[in-house]
Structure 1
């Protein structure tokens, strides 16, 4: 059985990876309240569902994509249970031949590895290479669940704080799409 801590508030006081620390520092600086848990590595959305129960909200699926030339990048944030159709999504955005971005591009642009993609990684994307695409269902939800750049911790905060405070502060804007 997967270890999941009790629900906590505030940034952790023990040693954390740099991206995770930066995420908590940014939320605190913006006065965005959040709750969090620590957990064994969550390698799948099924394992995230266990975390959902403790957090009281759904951890969102994050998909890191790119165009064929690997020059344009997208972070798609969608409900965990929604299936993803690359061709339909490409058509909706008007980008041909979209695919999953390679791990080295994820590390470069989001500062993390596959299985840990999250809006926290946008803190690394200071040159705005990554376009943020948020499913309408996620944008209309009260709570937003994600990891802070590593899949051994998860947090929740208000979706409106993501869209109106966090993303603008780090110079990103979410494009809302109905998938």
Structure 2
């Protein structure tokens, strides 16, 4: 799904969302330069794989949080982790660097990526800001709706303790 297909999907499913179009952003520092509503809902995403390229993980946390990969490995009994390559990102999620988003899981035809979301997004405002498979816009969704979309697609979803 590209950006327009994501918008169409959300509308067809009657899923509440708020969208802001903006210049392309490739990291959290560039995102901070844009005046976006709901800063408490800002998320960052890490797309990882194990050292055998057999298991893939998308981790979504509050934008100002650090992810301790050693702790993540211990808590989830994974092999050694590293970031996926640009070609893996494109092949599996149909995304480019800077546009990583949980909505990219809708392009994971093999449903091989496990999605981990920070419990923060369920506790605070209940909304989350993500890209619509393109880094020229931000979409705010209710976190339970996002989780429901991913589960309905068939990817495994786990809520991580903060």
- Counterparts in 2 of 1:116-131, with a 5 A limit? 116-131=99-114
Cα deviation code 1:111-158 (max 9, x no counterpart): 001111101211110210111011111232311100011111111011
Aligned equivalent of 1:55, options 37, 50, 53: 37
Across the aligned residues of Structure 1 and Structure 2, the Cα RMSD in angstroms comes to 1.5
Aligned equivalent of 2:140, options 135, 146, 156: 156
1:144 aligns with 2:132: no
Cα deviation code 1:4-59 (max 9, x no counterpart): xxxxxxxxxxxxxx5112211221121101111111111221222344x4332432
Structure 1 ranges of 4+ moved more than 3 A? none
8 Å contact kept, 1:163–1:173: no
Cα deviation code 1:79-136 (max 9, x no counterpart): 1000122211111110021111111111111100111110121111021011101111
- Larger relative strand fraction: 2
SS of the residue aligned with 1:55? coil
**TM-score for both structures, normalised by structure 1:** 0.83
- Which structure has more RCO (C-alpha within 8 Å, separation ≥ 6)? 2
Count of residues in Structure 1 that have an aligned counterpart in Structure 2 = 160
**TM-score for both structures, normalised by structure 2:** 0.91
Unmatched 5+ residue regions in structure 1? 1-17
Report the CA distance shift for 1:48/1:178 in structure 2 as closer, same or farther (over 3 A): same
8 Å contact kept, 1:133–1:175: yes
